Amino acid sequence: MNILVIHQYFLDKDQGGGSRFNQFVKFWTDMGHEVTVIAGMVHYATGEKPSKWKGRLIVEEDYEGAKVIRTYVSDKYNVSFLGRLFGYFSFMLSSLLAMFKIKDKPDVIIATSPPLFTGVTGFLLSLRFGCAFVFEVRDLWPESAIELGIIKNKFLIKVSFWLEKAIYKLASGINVLTPAFKDAIVKKGILPHKIWLIPNGADLDLFSEEDVRDIRKEYGWDDKFVVLYIGAHGVANNLEQLIFAAEKLKEALPDVLFVLIGDGMEKPKLVKMVKEKGLDNVMFIPPQPKERIKDFVYAADVGIAVLKRVDVFKTVYPNKVFDYMCCKKPVILGIDGIARKLVVDEAKCGIYYEPENIDMLVDAVKMYYNDEKLRKEHGENGYRFVKANFDRKVLAKKYIDEIKAILTRP
């Protein structure tokens, strides 16, 4: 099968971040499928454009046996909301030019969002090549942008909802990452039979215990109890709560260290907060390539996943939780809804605290700090659960099965 993927945030080989489609592409090429990816040139968290792509409109590369066509994204992407919006539009337009680099007709086009505008490119290219169009929903947009206060203009909100529904109706099939996403889309009037669930998953092959570096020695963590956060440092993540928790624990448990790996628009503000409060129990580390992330997770004592307290985040599975579970680390979870159900009720691998409730967060840290047996039990529970239910290699095969069902549908 010939598969064309449109993914603005598809990672380069040395970039860190969500690697869902990087893994899918690898598995699909290993299965014998021909895969082409149309991707952007700016990293979603850092907003940075590698020097090798600067000044270029289109760049062709190879990735794990697949062809990657990188197209232009505005350098203003991470400056402001308007800059990010221009970044979305610039990719939508430049990605259409990639059609001239595609020689063989694809059997299916998969456009994964956010941003929502990848769906526009996906549909237009499906018309151009006369093939099936699958739209993937990794985040409910525009709901998340509205609840976070990023989009306030009533006209933009109206247009965004119209565009979202139009893309859903035009797609041959819709993949969602959580059951809550499916429920939300069905409520918008989309037929349930068009929607299937292939959730985010675990990179079990990337997170094996082989060749793990001694990060504790390298970063001076030998005598520390490390609470690790990996991911974006943006408005949605609300990492201020980790800073406030560190402040409360500074005197009570001076050997607790909060480590934040990643980047984003809010990082300078967070660094400034730590400096102003005089905290020596918070460490910031730049984004790391995906293959290095396991070194840090294995070195930590506990992993933490947090988001801002808004209702739309009750519908998400955070990527980083699966990384922690792969490495047998217990999870402190500041996200309600289906993530809480997954971590606490089903996998039994973590402790939930009410988002933005600093006292509950501090209590969760103390509970794991004082109970090594609980940490080990939750870590083992998480690993068994993720291996049985979220192996990304298995999910990649299920994705192909769903596409084949579309292609053979009368």
Task: Say whether 215-389 and 2-201+391-407 share the same fold.
Answer: yes
Q: Could you say which architecture CATH assigns to the domain 2-201+391-407?
A: 3-Layer(aba) Sandwich (3.40)
* Per-residue confidence in pLDDT tens, the chain, 410 aa: 999 999 999 988 877 667 889 999 999 999 999 999 999 998 876 777 888 888 899 999 999 899 999 999 987 766 666 777 778 889 999 999 999 999 899 999 999 998 899 999 999 999 999 999 999 999 888 888 888 777 888 888 899 999 999 999 999 999 999 999 999 999 999 999 999 999 988 888 778 888 889 999 999 998 999 999 999 998 899 999 999 999 999 999 999 999 999 998 899 999 999 999 999 999 999 998 888 899 999 999 999 999 999 998 999 988 899 999 999 999 999 999 999 999 999 999 999 999 999 999 999 999 999 999 999 999 999 999 999 999 999 999 999 999 999 998 76
**Which element (helix H / strand E) includes 278?**
none
Side chain identity at residue 266, one-letter code: E
Phi, psi (degrees; rounded to nearest 5) at 343: -75, -45
3-state class (DSSP) for residue 318: coil
- Tell me the C-alpha distance between 106 and 116, whole Å: 21
- Tell me the C-alpha distance between 28 and 382, whole Å: 27
- Tell me the C-alpha distance between 388 and 254, whole Å: 38
CB atoms within 10 A of CB 401: 10
**Which element (helix H / strand E) includes 191?**
none
Domain-wise residue ranges, the chain: 2-201+391-407, 215-389
For 10, 12, 143, 153, 168, the CA distances from 111, given in Å and listed in that order, are 11, 18, 19, 26, 11
CATH C-level class of 215-389: alpha beta
What is the greatest pairwise CA distance in the chain?
67
- Tell me the C-alpha distance between 320 and 410, whole Å: 39
Whole-model pTM: value is 0.85
